[in-house]
Amino acid sequence: MKTLFLTLIAVLFLPQTSFSLPELVRHGYTNCTTCHHSPNGGGIFTQYGRALTAEVQSTYNSEGESDFAYGLVKTPKWLEMGGNFRSIVTRQEYPNESLTKFIRMQADLETALVFNKLKIIGTVGLQDTDYPSDPTQGAFFSRRHYLLYSANPNLTLRAGKFMHTFGVMQPDHMVPTRQGLGWNIGSETYNLEASWINEEWNLFATGVFGRPDQSTLNRETGFSLNASRKLSDTYKAGLNYFHGSENNDSRHVIGMHVLAGFTPKLYLLKETNFEQKDSQWNLYNFTKLGYEPTQGLHFNLFLGAVASDLSSDTPIYYIYGPAIQYFPRPHIDLQLTYEMIHERNSSFVKKWLTLMMHFYL
């Protein structure tokens, strides 16, 4: 159990694959659909989202620079395109060994066909599993593909392959509240989702149907319910529930999250989840405090905690450290993270230094 847990911990905090920035709550952006076609954020930008990457996210920009492919490729109004190319260099230090790795994390193109109330959205990219012996390594695959139907300004229905909504849909989905719960890179499932969004509320109900196309992959099926509410222009909080079952096992996950923009420069993301599985309660917690002294440059402090059984003496792992994220110009996102993983009542400390380089079309 401990080995499994350490393995889980060892891959925590690899950065993002689905670019979204809930930190923009500090500027009053509390609904994901302002910047993304996806109701729960991430993935291909709306035109407005593209404009924001220049206007409020990057240190420098020129007019039209944030357009798809720098405006070199013009698309008709019904066709929107994007893409993400991401890799990391990481130095990992364990008590008895250390290693340096380069990982090409993501190379995806994404397209949205927009027809009035209907949108068809999908990615195609190269599979990178980080395991050279994996037969799917380097193969073409689609991380997301779904149909979106906006029944009215509030109600949207979605069917297809995507990550179901739960908590803070932050890009670092290897944080304890994402990867710890099995919602890591590549864990997108086939879902049916209804979302109801207005000025104050975001409500999601999602049926999760696992991966019927690949029985060897994530087969957990179930449903999730989420409600979040804007508390003021720059504060939002929500409650989340997930029930999943796989073979004879089932689990319940309940959680709460907060997005807080204290000022246009200072913000906090917080998520706490409790998982009931095998008659025990596990905890997955994550907090990120950020400060943006000048537009595009972010200093972050993060703290995560994972406890495998709250009722026993099993270890609690703390994951903490600083990070610097820099958006010098539209299309470029760099992040340097120094993280330490520490087990309570133990000398075990793992240190990771990671440089993430992300280019988006």
Partner 1 sequence: MSKSLFIGFFRLFILFISFTFVSHYSFAQDLMVQTDTVKVDFFAIGQPSFLKIHGKSEQLNGKIQIKNKKLTASFQFPLNTLNTGIKLRDKHMKKKYLETKAHPNAVFEVKSWDIPNADQLFSTGLDATLSGTLTIRKIPQKVDVQLQLTPEGKNLKVLAKLKTKISDFNIELPSFMGITVAEDIDLQIAFDAATKEK
- The answer to whether 16 touches 22, Cβ cutoff 8 Å, is no
Could you give the C-alpha distances from 353 to 15, 94, 98, 253, 339, in angstroms and in order?
12, 12, 11, 31, 7
Size of residue set near partner 1 by CB under 8 A: 24
Q: Which of 12, 24, 54, 323 binds partner 1 (CB under 8 A)?
A: 54
Measure the CA–CA gap between 316 and 342, rounded to whole angstroms.
8
Task: Give the x/- contact pattern for partner 1 in 198-237, rule: CB under 8 A.
Answer: xx---------------------------------x----
Q: Minimum distance from CB of 333 to partner 1 (Å)?
A: 20
**8: three-class secondary structure by DSSP:** helix
Return the DSSP state at 70: G
Return the structure tokens found at 263: 């000022």
Note whether 50 binds partner 1 by CB under 8 A. Answer: yes
Q: Is 153 in the site for partner 1 (CB under 8 A)?
A: yes
Task: Give CA–CA dist 191/164, Å, rounded.
Answer: 7
Q: What are phi and psi of 267, to 5 degrees?
A: -145, 165
**46 lies in the site for partner 1, by CB under 8 A:** yes
Interface with partner 1, residue 278, by CB under 8 A: no
Candidate ranges 30-38, 84-92, 103-111, 323-331; the one touching partner 1 (CB under 8 A): 30-38
Which of the stretches 52-60, 211-219, 279-287, 336-344 binds partner 1 when contact is defined by CB under 8 A? 52-60
Q: Which of 150, 245, 250, 295 binds partner 1 (CB under 8 A)?
A: 150
CB 11 within 8 A of CB 179: yes
Identify whether the C-beta of residue 171 lies closer than 8 Å to the C-beta of residue 21.
yes
Contact region with partner 1 (CB under 8 A), list: 51-59, 120-128, 322-330, 349-357: 51-59
* Interface positions with partner 1 (CB under 8 A): 27-34, 46-48, 50-52, 54-56, 63, 150, 153, 197-199, 233
